[in-house]
Structure 1
Amino acid sequence: MKIEYLYQPDVVRCRPSDTLAHAAHLLVRARIGALAVVDDDGTLVGILSERDLARAMTEQREPGSALASSYASRGVEVARQHEDSWTVGRRMLDAGIRHLPVVSDGQLVGMVSMRDVLAVETWA
C-alpha cells in the first residue's frame, strides 16, 4: 500500500525555540510519540520523539526548560507519499526509528508511524 493512504495528515508541530516541557505537553495531549520541529516558515528542521525527551531527562538538570532544538533529531529521514509501505517500514526498521515525516514537493504533509505501517502490513 502507498504511504499516501495511511499517513496521519494532522502533524503536531513545535518550534525549535519551544521548551521540552511544552513539547512534552503536546505529545501527551495528542497521544503521540513524536512531533515535527518546524521553523517560522514551516520548514521541517527535525523531529522530537519520546526517546529524545528521555535522553534530556538524563542529561539536563532542568530538562523542561531545555529547548526543542537542543534535543530534536536533525537530518531526518522522510517518507514520500508515493512510496510503498513495506519499503518505508523496512527503512524504519533498519534505522531503528518509529516515526517518519511525510513530504510532498518538499512540504511536510503528515507523519507515518511504525504502528501505521505494521497495521497495514499485518491486516492487508
Structure 2
Amino acid sequence: MSDALQQDLTELALDIRVGQLIRKGPLSCLPSTSLKQAFEAMDAAKAGSMLVCDESGALQGILTRYDLISRVILPQRSLATPIEEVMSTGIQTIEADRGALEAMLMMARHRVRHLPVLQHGFLVGLISESDLVSFQRSSLRILSASIEQAESLAALKVCSQEVLRLARRLLAQGVAATSLARLVSHLNGQPHPQGDQAHRVSDERSAGAAAAVGLAGAGLRGPRRADCGD
C-alpha cells in the first residue's frame, strides 16, 4: 500500500464521529462511593476507569487505573476512602458529534488517555486512547480483507454494498471526495478469485466501485453536509 493511500485511510478512519465509537454506557458512581466499591464495579465491568458524577448526573471527576499507584497504592490509602478524595478534577470532555481526530489531538494536547463524551451537555459515554488506536487500525482493513477473500459473486455483492455504505457515510461526514475516490480505487484493486466466476466477480466489483466513485465525484460538485449532533 502506498504512503499516500495509507495517509488517506488514516484520515478516513479518524474522521469518524466520537459518538460512533462508544460501545456501552458510561460507568459512573457518586463522589461518596468508597474506593472498594468503585474498584469492584470496575472489575465487574472490565473497565479501566470510573467517572464520578453528582446526584444530578453532572460530571465531577474521573479515576483511572493509571492513577492507582500514585494516588492509592503508594500513599497506602484505605479502601474505605471516598473516591472524590483521589479522583482527577477539571477533566477535558468532548461532544459526541466531534471527529475522532479531534479527540486524539485533545488527548495529546492535555496528556490524558480518556475523554468523557457529552451529547447536548449530558454524559453519554467514555472513549480511551486505545479505542481510537484500535479503530484506526482495524476499521477499513476489515472491508479490504473481506473483498480480497470473497470467493463468489454473492460474497462480493455484499462487499460492494458495504463500499457504497462506507462512501455515503464518509461523504456525509465531510470527508474529501478525492481521498474517498482513492480509497474506493484501492478497494477495487484487491485480488479476485480465479476460475469460472472470475469475470462476473470482477464485473460486480467494478460496478460497485464505479457507483462509489460516482458518489465521491458528486461530493466534489455539491456542498458538504453540515455536522449535526445525534
Q: Shared fold by TM > 0.5?
A: yes
* Partner residue in 2 for 1:96: 111
Structure 1: gaps spanning 5 or more residues? none
Contact residue 24 and residue 53 of structure 1 kept, 8 A: no
Higher strand share: 1
- SS of the counterpart of 1:18? coil
Of 28, 36, 39 in structure 2, the residue corresponding to residue 13 of structure 1 is 28
What are the within-5 Å matches in structure 2 for residues 1-124 of structure 1? 1-54=16-69, 55-60=71-76, 62-123=77-138, 124=140
Percent identity reads 27
Q: How much does 1:57 deviate?
A: 1.3
Q: How much does 1:65 deviate?
A: 1.3
Contact residue 12 and residue 35 of structure 1 kept, 8 A: yes
Instruction: Give the counterpart letter for 1:56 in structure 2.
Output: V
Contact residue 34 and residue 48 of structure 1 kept, 8 A: yes
Q: TM-score normalised to the size of structure 1?
A: 0.91
Partners of 2:48 and 2:109 in 1: CA distance = 19
Instruction: Give the counterpart letter for 1:58 in structure 2.
Output: L
- SS of the counterpart of 1:64? coil
Say which one has the larger Rg.
2
Contact residue 19 and residue 65 of structure 1 kept, 8 A: yes
Structure 2: gaps spanning 5 or more residues? 1-15, 141-230
Aligned length: 123
Partners of 2:36 and 2:67 in 1: CA distance = 12
Superposed CA RMSD in Å reads 1.4
Deviates more, 1:104-113 or 1:48-57: 48-57
Higher helix share: 2
- SS of the counterpart of 1:108? strand
Higher RCO (CA < 8 A, seq sep 6+): 1
Partners of 1:76 and 1:111 in 2: CA distance = 12
